[in-house]
Structure 1
Amino acid sequence: MVWPCLQAHDASALIDFLTGTVGFLRTAVHADGDRVAHAQLDWPEGGGVMLGSYRKDAAWSQPPGTFGAYVVTADVDALHARLRAAGVEMVREIADQDYGNREFSIKDPEGNMWSFGVYAGEPQPSIR
């Protein structure tokens, strides 16, 4: 299992956006004062992300707004319509792709890119 990780200037606001607007589930949030030390947000259809408050001096530190993720969803049209109605910034409108995907992309309040589509990837090769 892979857990993409990102950091945010305002992690609490990003958590609220990803759970309240996009549809992630708030599974765990651990605070350290007014900072988010660790949060786990699960995607209802599988997988999720981990995030926390940006700390420039941390050993594993990625500047906010440099993250990008692709999220698989069965009803991409409904999600697109809901996010558009909520005023979310669209980076790429919903469209069918040559390789069989139907997808769209948004930008979150921190500047991170999120792409949503029905393409769940190619089957894993069999191990011999």
Structure 2
Amino acid sequence: MNALKKSGIVRTYNSPVGDYAEWLVSTKMNFKLEKNSKKGYDAWDPETGLKYQIKSRWMHPGKNSRQLNVIRNYEDCQFDYLIAIIFSRDFEVSEAYLIPHDLITKYFPMNTHQNGIVVTVAGDFLKDPEIKDITKLLL
């Protein structure tokens, strides 16, 4: 973890999955990362000004859930797009999607228990024509 932090790949000493996903997106898509404590979005595109929330899930042995961490304050419209990444067991990008902010509540209601929206990257949700598969951009 110290080497990953020193090299700028991770920004915290938490599980490296989220930090790595943010670093990967910013590197491959030429986005600027926001400060670690910034609420509402993780990166932005300096060419367009669009803001991105980045969520990921590592499908390691014993973990088959495709559920992302909770999105809080969704109604404040703090990001334009959600980027969802599924990492394989070997930590390779297996799938990645660009999802418009407004599309999320079409499929996922507010979860009062978690005080936010919980997105599961599966099923009919992925068939929506507004979702763009960006896997190849992150390889």
Same fold (TM over 0.5): no
Say which one has the larger Rg: 1
TM-score by length of 2: 0.32
TM-score (norm. length: structure 1) = 0.34
Question: Hey, which of these two has a bigger chunk of helix by percent?
Answer: 2
Does 1 or 2 have the higher relative contact order (CA < 8 Å, sep 6+)? 1
